[in-house]
């Protein structure tokens, strides 16, 4: 999320411009009046996601699981409410472009190595969040949380197929972690969030 670095399980928020990827920096330059609102929304989204994680409503997996899917969709819903769907979408796309650049440099996103499957998942869930906003643009933020969770339970969001902490391919076989290292494209499989 814009100007927010999420390291491991502890929330350390760095709101500095230097923490952004170059695509996110360009987004801020082109949207200077929306950038502060986007930062506030990003921080709020992390706090709400952390609260939901503590309650265990939709698991605790922020690396391809239901909670990760919720985080991205809810981020887009609230960004759309605060800065408009078009600006929210362009920020979400800039974030994913930044993840690819992070991968190329060997860096991590939210404490994990980014890859194409995670990026595809995030882009799908971002679009779903914007769609939810467009259907419920007058709803309260609490109702928006409920709508994202409903979409998650109906399988409208996407997550990565896993068994415990192991990633699985579409046939259900464990992907050895060593095979994933340094690979943008791999055998990870996206599935609907109601496919548990």
For the chain, 196 residues long, the average pLDDT of each consecutive 10-residue run is: 37 59 90 93 94 91 94 97 97 89 69 83 97 96 96 97 94 91 90 92
190 within some domain: no
Range of the domain at 149: 6-157
99 within some domain: yes
196 within some domain: no
* CB-CB contact of 50 with 62 (8 Å): no
pLDDT of residue 193: 97
13 within some domain: yes
The 10s digit of each residue's pLDDT in 72-99 is 999 999 999 999 999 999 999 999 998 7
Q: Considering its fold, how many domains does the chain have in total?
A: 1
d(CA 38, CA 196): 32
pLDDT of residue 6: 36
Neighbours of 146 (CB within 10 A): 13
48 within some domain: yes
* CB-CB contact of 73 with 126 (8 Å): yes
1 within some domain: no
185 within some domain: no
């Amino acid at each position: 999320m814009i100007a927010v670095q999420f390291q491991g399980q502890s929330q350390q928020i760095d709101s500095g411009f230097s923490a952004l990827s170059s695509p996110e920096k360009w987004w801020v330059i082109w949207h200077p009046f929306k950038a502060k609102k986007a930062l506030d929304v990003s921080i709020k989204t992390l706090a709400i996601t952390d609260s939901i994680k503590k309650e265990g409503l939709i698991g605790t997996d922020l690396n391809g699981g239901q909670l990760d899917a919720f985080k991205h969709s809810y981020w887009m819903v609230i960004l759309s409410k605060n800065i408009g769907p078009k600006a929210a979408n362009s920020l979400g796309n800039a974030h994913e472009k930044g993840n690819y650049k992070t991968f190329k440099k060997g860096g991590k996103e939210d404490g994990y190595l980014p890859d194409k499957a995670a990026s595809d998942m995030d882009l799908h869930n971002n679009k779903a969040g914007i769609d939810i906003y467009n259907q419920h643009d007058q709803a309260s933020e609490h109702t928006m949380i409920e709508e994202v969770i409903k979409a998650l339970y109906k399988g409208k969001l996407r997550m990565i197929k896993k068994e415990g902490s192991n990633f699985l391919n579409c046939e259900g076989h464990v992907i050895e972690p060593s095979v994933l290292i340094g690979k943008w494209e791999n055998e990870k499989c996206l599935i609907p969030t109601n496919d548990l």
